[in-house]
């Protein structure tokens, strides 16, 4: 049942929120029976009907045998304003397709499975590593939005046309997101939100060594400066899941949230393919892996995206006086630093500084190379960031 396509559905919730009555009337609406013990009922675009959101509580209490799924655009934003049945609903966060899901989506099932089961303690077969590296570059162009992956998989016989078709979808999606922002946030606020969102990738121009740097508020929105004045539109983007925020900490101690400050952070796009499209990086340059210092930022964006999809709810970066480690993971064994290298060079002075100061149980460098273990330092292909995170989050101390 789609509450956006048919506004009549909302009227079913006006009289009362009795699940038995609602299901009975839905059967007339659908002109078919609903077996509450066997059928899956889906409320799509549920943010268009706040009463339906509230009704989830009563479905859970009075009809627990029914499998009921709800979804909606910018649902995180909608929940901020409406009553919500706390404790009665299980959340499942949907992210863009991760790299291994992308592989499966384009028919590379053997490669996808090999990546999912590898323990990353010994090298992958070299031929598999080479294929995964090439496909990872394609993923940087395409990203993980399902419609993009689908159109690409349907046109694999002509990769050029497939990528061009994917880029057209990216542009359409950008326009759609902008329209959604205007619809859900109000005219004035929408202008600020749109400017900040588009400003995220354009801060790439400030990078000197390829690494992402602290978000600057100056000039993000003309006439507005400082975190206090821009915090509202930034929080809106975070709640809408359109950006990935990485807090910058200067102490790597548990809990990392205790050392995070609201006005010190990096920001990434929620989908790396959309990032490549909005910055207008030529797909051919990405496939040749020849697009200058942007490689570092794009690689970091990919890792941030994979970490979130793997279940890392909050992202952290460590900065010392002259050193920086792109990501920190809080694991059962302690805080583990992840250094991101976009190429084959894996030397890292910053990581050495971090190790000397904090003595982590392990350090990890993500790069273009194959898996290698050297004492307590693990080298992992950057395309395996998601698999790595899942392994680290479940490891025993």
Give me the pLDDT at residue 77, please. 55
Average pLDDT over residues 366-395: 94
The three-class DSSP label of residue 234 is helix
* The 372-374 sheet, strands edge to edge: 265-269, 243-249, 315-319, 324-331, 334-340, 363-367, 377-381, 372-374
Closest CA to 244 of 27, 93, 66: 93
Do 99 and 382 touch, CB atoms closer than 8 A?
A: no
Mean pLDDT of 67-82: 70
Q: Report the chain's C-alpha Rg in angstroms.
A: 23
Instruction: Tell me if 223 sits within 8 A of 309, measured CB to CB.
Output: no
Say how many CA atoms lie within 13 Å of 226 toward its Cβ: 2
Span 167-203, pLDDT tens digits: 999 999 998 888 878 777 766 678 888 888 888 877 7
Q: How many residues does the chain have?
A: 397
CA angle 380/382/386 to nearest 5° reads: 90
pLDDT at 212: 64
Q: What percent of the chain has pLDDT over 70?
A: 92
More confident of the two residues 211 and 345:
345
pLDDT for 273-295, tens place per residue? 999 999 899 999 999 999 887 89
CA-CA distance, 8 to 89, in Å (whole number)? Answer: 25
DSSP per position, 160-228: HHHHHHHHHHHHHHHHHHHHHHHHHH-HHHHHHHHHHHHHHHHGGGG-SSS---PPP-TTTBTTB-SHH
From CA 188, how far away is CA 171, in angstroms rounded? Answer: 23
Q: Give the pairing type, strands 315-319 and 324-331.
A: antiparallel
**What pLDDT, on the 0 to 100 scale, is given for residue 197?**
87
* pLDDT value at 397 more than 50: no
pLDDT the model gives residue 262: 87
For residues 140 and 272, the answer to whether their CB atoms sit within 8 Å is: yes
pTM of the model: 0.90
pLDDT at 165 > cutoff 70:
yes
Which phi and psi (to 5°) does residue 379 adopt?
-105, 125
User: Which has the closest alpha carbon to 279: 174, 165, 157?
Assistant: 174
For residues 139 and 286, what is the distance between their CA atoms, to the nearest angstrom? 10
Pull the structure tokens for residue 268: 């990434």
Q: What angle do CA 280, 194, 214 make, to 5 degrees?
A: 75
- Mean pLDDT (the chain) is 89
Q: From CA 76, how far away is CA 58, in angstroms rounded? A: 21
- Quote the pLDDT of residue 223: 67
Q: How many CA atoms lie within 13 A of 21 on its CB side?
A: 10
């Amino acid at each position: 049942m789609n509450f956006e396509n048919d506004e009549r559905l909302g009227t079913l919730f006006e009289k009362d929120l009795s699940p038995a009555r609602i299901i009975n009337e839905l059967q007339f609406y659908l002109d078919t029976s609903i077996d509450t013990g066997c059928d899956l009922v889906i409320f799509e675009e549920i943010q268009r009907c706040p009463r339906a959101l509230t009704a989830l509580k009563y479905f859970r209490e009075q009809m627990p045998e029914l499998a009921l799924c709800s979804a909606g655009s910018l649902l995180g934003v909608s929940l901020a304003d409406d009553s919500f049945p706390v404790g009665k609903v299980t959340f499942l966060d949907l992210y863009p397709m991760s790299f291994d899901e992308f592989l499966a989506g384009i028919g590379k099932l053997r490669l996808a499975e090999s990546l999912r089961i590898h323990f990353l303690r010994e090298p992958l077969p070299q031929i598999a590593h080479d294929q995964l590296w090439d496909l990872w570059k394609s993923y940087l162009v395409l990203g993980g939005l399902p419609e993009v992956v689908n159109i690409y998989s349907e046109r694999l016989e002509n990769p050029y046309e497939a990528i061009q078709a994917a880029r057209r979808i990216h542009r359409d999606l950008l326009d759609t997101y902008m329209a959604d922002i205007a619809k859900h946030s109000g005219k004035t606020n929408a202008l600020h939100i749109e400017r900040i969102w588009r400003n995220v990738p354009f801060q790439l121009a400030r990078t000197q060594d390829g690494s992402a740097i602290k978000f600057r508020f100056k000039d993000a929105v003309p006439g507005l400066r400082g975190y206090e004045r821009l915090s509202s539109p930034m929080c809106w983007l975070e709640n809408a899941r359109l950006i990935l925020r990485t807090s910058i900490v200067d102490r790597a101690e548990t809990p990392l949230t205790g050392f995070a400050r609201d006005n010190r952070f990096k920001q990434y796009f929620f989908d790396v393919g959309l990032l490549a499209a909005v910055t207008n990086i030529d797909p051919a340059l990405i496939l040749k892996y020849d697009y200058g210092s942007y490689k570092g930022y794009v690689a970091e964006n990919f890792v941030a995206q994979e970490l979130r999809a793997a279940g890392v709810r909050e992202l952290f970066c460590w900065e010392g006086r002259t050193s920086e480690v792109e990501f920190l993971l809080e694991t059962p064994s302690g805080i583990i630093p992840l250094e991101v290298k976009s190429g084959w060079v894996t030397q890292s002075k910053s990581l050495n500084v971090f190790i000397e100061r904090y003595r982590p149980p392990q350090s990890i460098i993500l790069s273009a190379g194959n898996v290698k273990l050297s004492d307590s330092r693990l080298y992992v292909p950057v395309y395996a960031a998601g698999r790595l995170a899942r392994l680290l989050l479940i490891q025993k101390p």
